Structure 1
Amino acid sequence: MFSRVSHPRSDGTGGVRRRSWWTGWRPHRIAVSVTAAMTTAAAVLTGFAAPAQAATAITINGGSGGRALDGIGAVSGGGGNSRLLIDYPEPQRSDILDYLFKPGYGAAMQLLKVEIGGDTNSTSGAEPSHEHTRGSVNCNRGYEWWLMEQAKARNANIALAGLAWGAPGWIGNGNFWSNDSIDYLVAWLDCAGTHGLTINYLGGWNEKGYNATWYKNLRSALNSHGYGNVKIVASDDFGWGAADESLRDPAFANAVQVFGSHYVCGYRSAQNNCPSSNNAISTGKSLWASENGSDDYNAGAQALARGINRDYIDGKMTGYINWPVLAAITPNIPWATTGVAVAQQPWSGNYSIGKSAWVMGQTTQFTAPGWRYLDSSSGYLGGNRNNGSYVSLKSTNNSDYSTIIETMDAGGAQTLDFTVTGGLSTGTVHVWSTNVRSNNSADFFVRGNDVTPNGGRFSLTVQPGYVYSITTTSGQGKGTAVSPPQGNLQLPYSDNFDGYATGREAKYLMDQQGSFEIAGCAAGRTGQCVRQMSDQTPIYWTSGHAEPFTLLGDLTWRNYTVSSDVLLEKPGYVQLIGRGNTYNHQGPQNMNGYYFRVTDGGAWSILSNNTSGNWRTLASGNTSALGTGRWHTLALTLNGSSLTAAVDGTTVGRATDSTWVAGQIGYGTGQGVTAQFDNLSITPGDGSGNPNPTGEIRSAASNRCLDVNGASQSDGAVVQIWDCNGGANQQWSAGTNNQLTVYGNKCLDVASTASGSRARIMSCTGGSNQQWRLNADGTIVGVGSGLCLDVNGQGTANGSAVQIWTCNGGSNQQWVRG
């Protein structure tokens, strides 16, 4: 006879009051019914009809063979995606770290892979190298050491891995596959030791193929330097070519302990089918899906749920690494909502924990590295991929076990009849679940009633779109910390950089290319300055080769003056950036924004650039030479369409341009130009933070205007984005009763409060579907729906539809008035 447990769906009210997207989660227990013998009652309790198919029988056999779990985790790096986390205030910083790494609290990551910084952009920013120039090692640069320390403090058993994306140009005179890079990696391991960190795994060069001789030389070097226990991962590329090579080359096989491949289920796929290769399996080595994901922290949860299970079922992969850990970057930086959490505002402390964190926790909180998969107790429900998948693992104590079930594509409820055998515990089973189809945080990581097996047998009715964890272990939990609301970084803002240790990064400064870090000021100036450290062309990872630049600030900053002292250490140029916004990560020099550039010889220019790399010179001329080794003060004032540039307090040029309305400030230099910056000041200008009551509303992602299609004034005319042209169909007023009006008498309106409802214009009625909150973070939120005004599909092209959608912090939900 079976004991049967049923998982009821939400009561329709959500159980708790709906929360905004940035808040933390509340615990919420599900009601579960258990009896000694039930037939269809479990399905009835859930509100679903009883499954038409016969129950699926699953035997959880502790005697089954299987591979050992290496871990489930994520990447910090590739690059810069964790940058702002270290700048968060307490307690929010610790809260976020707990959600990521603390056992029994959130994602509970078992494996953390970090970038070995190379002074070059590697997707969402550049991370600093521990060795900018040959022989000059500084083990305290950047934030990855800090992040590993914090992860280790929360979970002493977390495994750590390192991998390079790019590298300083001195390595091998630009050739990564050289002895220089091996020495460089050994120095990085030495640095880890100074932080009390033991690195478990080390890779080669991310997504750049492999060199078998280099890996053999790396193994030899690690062994000779006392790092024989560090396991080498090859080749962190696409496919299993390195595993094929190991079958031809025994010395290479002996050098490598893990074969890792990227996006084994397909790049940004649904992760339905996740094979490795026969050759890879036959090596007997650990196999990893060593980079996956690249998906939104909420929308990617379904794929993550499939992939964690199916990587092992289809390809015997025992390591799963999501890219990235979190998006601790501002919304204009590429991949601004990927990972398992979003943390874009250290100044407000606001953050959001995604559904993906809870999906990951459904495995990590119920297993541990060293647990063994049970091959005969893992597979597809009813032998059909569409029904969902399940994997079973047993503890190192050979008694406890956990089975993780996902039903992402199932069409209805299914009853699973379990039999426990092979020496495993037949005691109480605990049931936890996440409803991945829900957007209500109360439905994530919910504990149900326990199940008491009868003679080692019990049943579970599972609903479609869920992840379930059934386990004999305890200690699981759902974190309760709650995020504060969003808020702008207020002007004025200043920093003299004197409060930082040498080698660190200034607060909120986000390197996009090169390395801007704290150093002692030059030319007789006391205190600390920001110095651009990269003195030659790096070994790039991206295809787009930008010159060094770094960004800081709020995307809603509109009219302001950015001023800074600068010193060129060698001939070349320095520049201030204003209204910096969206950029193309494959060509990071292609960013929307204005630039005030001055050379050592005194040639100056005011420039505009966009994501397509269309540089325009708005004004240029000559002033007194800056020279090298001397301090000067540069300033760029942006007030509406008026741009003014000054050197040492004297205006050198003016330009008129209205292309870019708002954005961040930044520092920049020419390639290989070392320079220093001090006394940063950003002061508000006329109307800063006080947009005109009537005017354009621009999408922060595209800089295109909120536009009524075809300049129609008819009720029901849809709204889109279009090139700003000054037309009446692009002039919006913040009217009474929270209305946004166009033509003076038509209101921005949505037909329903559901996500995806298209924005349109209608005669004003005063209804809540025509009321909007214009928030300080640039979002425009419907009063009736609580959803954000959004450009469909993150579109940036003319004609892209505007709708309402769940607020997610994306730049396609950021708007600038002016």
Structure 2
Amino acid sequence: MSRKQSGNLSGEWERFHPRRPEGNDEQMTTREDRRPSRGWAAAAGLLLAVTGAVVVNPAPAQAATAITINGASGGRTFDGVGAISGGGGNTRLLVDYPEPQRSDILDYLFKPGYGAAMQIMKVEIGGDTNSTSGAEPSHEHTRGQVNCDRGYEWWMMAQAKARNPNIKLVGLSWGAPGWIGNGNFWSSDSIDYLIAWLGCATSHGLTIDYLGGWNERGRDLNWYKNLRSALNSRGYPNVKIVASDDFGWGSADDALRDPAFGSAISVVGSHYVCGYRSSQTSCPSSANAVNSGKTLWASENGSDDYNGGAPALARGINRDYIDGKMTAYLNWPVIAAITPNIPWATTGVAVAPQPWSGYYSIGTSTWVMGHTTQFTAPGWRYLDSSSGYLGGNRNNGSYVSLRSPTGSDYSTVIETMDAGSAQDLQFTVTGGLSTGTVHVWSTNVRSGNPADQFVRRSDITPSNGAFSLTVQPGYVYSITTTTGQGKGTATSPAQGALALPYSDDFDGYATGREAKYLSDHQGSFEVVPCAAGRTGQCVRQMSEQAPIFWTSGHAEPFTLLGDVNWRNYTVSSDVLLEKSGYAQLVGRAGNYNHDNPHNLNAYYLRVADNGSWSIRSNNTSGNQRTLASGTTTALGTGRWHKLALTLNGSTLTATLDGTTLGSVADSTWVAGQIGYATGQGVTAQFDNLTITPLGGGTSPTGTIRGAGSNRCLDVNGQSQADGAVVQIWDCNNGANQTWTATSGNQLTVYGTKCLDAPSTTTGARVRIWSCTGAANQQWRLNADGTITGVQSGLCLDVTGAGTANGTAVTLWTCNGGSNQRWIRS
């Protein structure tokens, strides 16, 4: 995945295109009884009579648009719509979910006729290095030492296949262990490495359909030729090669200039073809790409919030083919199964941040994806003359039609994301397609109400192959002659904290697996038999040298675990250094910079084999401070020691083998996860993890600190007047920064004033007001760290992702930015 920018980006398009009011249900009629205005009035009256609901008539339909669905039209073969597990670590927590929630989530992702019904999935070939939201373990940490049971991608692929045996699987590397080519990915070592990975897939009963090179890191044409030869000679002639999973269509140009390279590859895959994190309104490829004879894919797209990114997804799936003849669309990622402090914590089509509570949320993007995947299948054929823009105008929306490879079935997917009014569409079916009953499904993408998503509408009976449909603005529609579609009914349990005390002796895991909730962000921490005569299992940092990095920042190995709201606790663990260097305990870990994941908001207790120790603080800018340090008896290597870091208010205390090393006062970080860390290439073991609470955890009353700014929610000028605005400011424990979360969903300050939203408009600045109990003074404190208005559904947002004192706090569309996440203390 490309991470060119960070912060509050997924909402930028919406900042210039404010959310419109929710649209109304569409009208569906046959051509013979179509009476738009009177039909709507009758339908509205009936609905009012039956339900008591208030129905607002839609804007008048525009002049009718004629669409011919011609089964004889030429078009390319459809390869599928799906997503990416990896790039990286974004699926990590899913495997730790309890049943039935784990299966429920997997059903929503992969099960046909239930949710997103993904048809293609790309997975990361783990490389022991951070690749955006975490690091995934390699199957071969050191040359020749292959273990096919590491990580969770094998499990993920098997679960996808169990639900959809026809799903296509793709493998791609982001980073790699440092032994490969002595740090050069474009080497014969990496080809051998990929062949070994394919062998692991075979051992798991998995068939990999496609294989790529090095994600977003250019291409070496000879390497691709050599890869093709190796695949052919070593038992994998049916694995197709995708090149080069980068930006633009240079691989198509190279295929024309170098026929041998062209013969080696089957697919030209490009990233963010509509623009990086764009609204996906225009999605061209290139003339060379279209004329190359190669299959074209939009092999990575999205990077958007699971709800807020739905309009862009709806446009892109259709427009990638209309504009650029791309026959596959892969969203990044599949799911955000990560804690809310990790980069891109709400991207994908769903979120699953709390395996301990079982809580998850299915996004609007799931249903947008389902509008294509539940009505088509790989092998169907696009109908070019039956695909395009409504009325020839991009602003009206787009439509694509596809035909089943056998029989006369067809489906047409329509999106009206930017339309300003209803549109009357008149269809004529010809070219050997079925003229029988048409089934209609719709999603109101502008609505946050799940009841408006993936709704089965009344069937239409064409007359002599003709029928009409009135479509509303901001919707996705699927019209089809197929059946079998459906909307899953599983529901999530409530959110909940990971309770303290917490402990794990790691003895219950198989060798090579990851301990529960432990999420790697650099290096690889996995369970192995304990060393130095200790029985049982321990966690070991496995990366023995610097990897081939994918990120620009070259972080040292670290892994995190726990609840981001843990505040005052002691984290302790047994530690054994296998070689000279240092190991670290991490406390109150928060956000990190995805370009340089070493820049983590956290405290560290560092101890080295020579006896040097220090308590340190770090932040997302990489400003590491030594708060206390000293020297004790040398720890040596191959010997077990017990480390403990106590974080109690502003007092930080380090102990080694029960003896206090030192203590220091610092109040920079107030809450966060725990973790293990080592120096680069330092192998070490960890055992008997315990996190013991000290009291003073999150209470109903305290500060509300911005995750992105590390500044507190503050009433301007300490004013107690109604209408005083709220901002961020340096935390000072003042009464104007002390908030109470009440049982009535209010956030009160000064005892009698409530956090108040003056309107439901994006950009509205929040303020304080005398408490009234109204919905505009009620707030949801969510598991992902966001605070959303009960009335508006919008997030409490620091304007422009600012971090300066006095930056305004407003309502904004939730987008997963760190400027919309808050830590209560």
- Shorter chain as denominator, the TM-score bin is over 0.9
Residues 309 and 618 of structure 1: is their aligned pair in 2 closer, same or farther, counting only changes over 3 Å? Answer: same
Provide the rounded CA distance (Å) in 1 between the counterparts of 2:23 and 2:592.
Answer: 39
Provide the rounded CA distance (Å) in 2 between the counterparts of 1:482 and 1:13.
Answer: 24
Provide the rounded CA distance (Å) in 2 between the counterparts of 1:773 and 1:232.
Answer: 47
In structure 2, the residue matched to 1:298 is: 307
* Preserved contact between residue 30 and residue 462 of structure 2 (Cα < 8 Å): no
Provide the rounded CA distance (Å) in 1 between the counterparts of 2:366 and 2:688.
Answer: 40
In structure 2, the residue matched to 1:573 is: 582
Alignment of 1:501-512 (within 5 A): 501-512=510-521
Provide the rounded CA distance (Å) in 2 between the counterparts of 1:13 and 1:49.
Answer: 12
Provide the rounded CA distance (Å) in 1 between the counterparts of 2:222 and 2:597.
Answer: 33
In structure 1, the residue matched to 2:736 is: 729
Provide the rounded CA distance (Å) in 2 between the counterparts of 1:767 and 1:64.
Answer: 57
Q: Are 1:607 and 2:603 counterparts?
A: no
In structure 2, the residue matched to 1:24 is: none
Alignment of 1:112-127 (within 5 A): 112-127=121-136
Provide the rounded CA distance (Å) in 2 between the counterparts of 1:793 and 1:520.
Answer: 49
Q: Are 1:639 and 2:648 counterparts?
A: yes
Provide the rounded CA distance (Å) in 1 between the counterparts of 2:153 and 2:257.
Answer: 37
Q: More deviation in 571-580 or 460-469?
A: 460-469
In structure 1, the residue matched to 2:209 is: 200
In structure 1, the residue matched to 2:667 is: 658
Q: Out of 19, 31, 37, which is 2:33 matched to?
A: 37
In structure 2, the residue matched to 1:317 is: 326
Residues 458 and 586 of structure 1: is their aligned pair in 2 closer, same or farther, counting only changes over 3 Å? Answer: same
In structure 2, the residue matched to 1:276 is: 285
- Give the gaps of 5 or more residues in structure 1: 1-11, 16-28
**Secondary structure of the residue that 1:501 maps to in structure 2?**
coil
In structure 1, the residue matched to 2:726 is: 719
How far the C-alpha of 1:50 sits from its partner, in A, is 3.4
In structure 2, the residue matched to 1:25 is: none
Provide the rounded CA distance (Å) in 2 between the counterparts of 1:707 and 1:121.
Answer: 35
Provide the rounded CA distance (Å) in 2 between the counterparts of 1:518 and 1:419.
Answer: 62
In structure 1, the residue matched to 2:13 is: none
In structure 2, the residue matched to 1:701 is: 708
Letter in 2 for 1:709: N
Provide the rounded CA distance (Å) in 1 between the counterparts of 2:380 and 2:507.
Answer: 49
Q: Out of 743, 762, 765, which is 1:758 matched to?
A: 765
How far the C-alpha of 1:43 sits from its partner, in A, is 5.7
Alignment of 1:137-286 (within 5 A): 137-286=146-295
How far the C-alpha of 1:260 sits from its partner, in A, is 0.3
Letter in 1 for 2:704: I
Residues 770 and 472 of structure 1: is their aligned pair in 2 closer, same or farther, counting only changes over 3 Å? Answer: closer
CA RMSD of aligned residues (A): 2.2
How far the C-alpha of 1:547 sits from its partner, in A, is 0.2
**Secondary structure of the residue that 2:538 maps to in structure 1?**
strand
Provide the rounded CA distance (Å) in 1 between the counterparts of 2:482 and 2:408.
Answer: 10
Provide the rounded CA distance (Å) in 1 between the counterparts of 2:795 and 2:325.
Answer: 42
* Preserved contact between residue 301 and residue 356 of structure 1 (Cα < 8 Å): yes
Q: More deviation in 795-804 or 414-423?
A: 795-804
Alignment of 1:94-493 (within 5 A): 94-493=103-502
Provide the rounded CA distance (Å) in 2 between the counterparts of 1:798 and 1:758.
Answer: 16
**Secondary structure of the residue that 1:402 maps to in structure 2?**
strand
Alignment of 1:576-587 (within 5 A): 576-587=585-596
* Preserved contact between residue 561 and residue 675 of structure 2 (Cα < 8 Å): yes
Letter in 1 for 2:722: D
How far the C-alpha of 1:357 sits from its partner, in A, is 0.6
* Preserved contact between residue 556 and residue 777 of structure 1 (Cα < 8 Å): no
**Secondary structure of the residue that 2:412 maps to in structure 1?**
strand
Query: So what's the TM-score if we normalise by structure 1?
Result: 0.93
What per-residue deviation string (whole Å, max 9, x for no partner) do you get for residues 651-697 of structure 1?
11101000100000000000000000000000001323446x4x432
Alignment of 1:610-621 (within 5 A): 610-621=619-630
Q: Out of 793, 796, 803, which is 2:810 matched to?
A: 803
Residues 13 and 177 of structure 1: is their aligned pair in 2 closer, same or farther, counting only changes over 3 Å? Answer: closer
* Preserved contact between residue 325 and residue 341 of structure 1 (Cα < 8 Å): yes
* Preserved contact between residue 698 and residue 824 of structure 2 (Cα < 8 Å): no
In structure 2, the residue matched to 1:748 is: 755
Q: More deviation in 730-739 or 656-665?
A: 730-739
Residues 218 and 734 of structure 1: is their aligned pair in 2 closer, same or farther, counting only changes over 3 Å? Answer: closer
Residues 459 and 779 of structure 1: is their aligned pair in 2 closer, same or farther, counting only changes over 3 Å? Answer: closer
What per-residue deviation string (whole Å, max 9, x for no partner) do you get for residues 127-149 of structure 1?
00000000000001000000000
Provide the rounded CA distance (Å) in 1 between the counterparts of 2:141 and 2:386.
Answer: 51
What per-residue deviation string (whole Å, max 9, x for no partner) do you get for residues 56-95 of structure 1?
1111111111100011100000000000000000000000
Provide the rounded CA distance (Å) in 1 between the counterparts of 2:178 and 2:803.
Answer: 35
**Secondary structure of the residue that 2:598 maps to in structure 1?**
coil
Provide the rounded CA distance (Å) in 1 between the counterparts of 2:33 and 2:706.
Answer: 59
In structure 2, the residue matched to 1:48 is: 58
Letter in 2 for 1:596: L
Aligned residue pairs: how many? 791
Letter in 2 for 1:615: Q
How far the C-alpha of 1:737 sits from its partner, in A, is 6.8
* Preserved contact between residue 60 and residue 421 of structure 1 (Cα < 8 Å): yes
Q: Percent identity?
A: 77
Provide the rounded CA distance (Å) in 2 between the counterparts of 1:777 and 1:201.
Answer: 34
In structure 2, the residue matched to 1:26 is: none
Letter in 1 for 2:809: V
* Preserved contact between residue 487 and residue 777 of structure 1 (Cα < 8 Å): no
Residues 586 and 712 of structure 1: is their aligned pair in 2 closer, same or farther, counting only changes over 3 Å? Answer: same
Q: More deviation in 258-267 or 754-763?
A: 754-763
Provide the rounded CA distance (Å) in 1 between the counterparts of 2:181 and 2:108.
Answer: 41
In structure 1, the residue matched to 2:688 is: 679
Alignment of 1:523-538 (within 5 A): 523-538=532-547
Residues 440 and 744 of structure 1: is their aligned pair in 2 closer, same or farther, counting only changes over 3 Å? Answer: closer
* Preserved contact between residue 61 and residue 422 of structure 1 (Cα < 8 Å): yes
* Preserved contact between residue 97 and residue 150 of structure 1 (Cα < 8 Å): yes
* Preserved contact between residue 23 and residue 473 of structure 2 (Cα < 8 Å): no
* Preserved contact between residue 30 and residue 446 of structure 1 (Cα < 8 Å): no
**Secondary structure of the residue that 1:588 maps to in structure 2?**
strand
* Preserved contact between residue 486 and residue 777 of structure 1 (Cα < 8 Å): no
Query: So what's the TM-score if we normalise by structure 2?
Result: 0.92
* Preserved contact between residue 30 and residue 463 of structure 2 (Cα < 8 Å): no
Residues 537 and 207 of structure 1: is their aligned pair in 2 closer, same or farther, counting only changes over 3 Å? Answer: same
Letter in 1 for 2:478: S
Provide the rounded CA distance (Å) in 2 between the counterparts of 1:317 and 1:784.
Answer: 41
* Preserved contact between residue 789 and residue 804 of structure 1 (Cα < 8 Å): yes
What per-residue deviation string (whole Å, max 9, x for no partner) do you get for residues 614-635 of structure 1?
1111100011111100000000
Residues 61 and 764 of structure 1: is their aligned pair in 2 closer, same or farther, counting only changes over 3 Å? Answer: closer
Letter in 2 for 1:48: P
In structure 1, the residue matched to 2:3 is: none
How far the C-alpha of 1:741 sits from its partner, in A, is 4.3
* Preserved contact between residue 580 and residue 609 of structure 2 (Cα < 8 Å): yes
Provide the rounded CA distance (Å) in 1 between the counterparts of 2:258 and 2:139.
Answer: 33
**Secondary structure of the residue that 1:386 maps to in structure 2?**
helix
* Preserved contact between residue 29 and residue 469 of structure 2 (Cα < 8 Å): no
* Preserved contact between residue 335 and residue 349 of structure 2 (Cα < 8 Å): yes
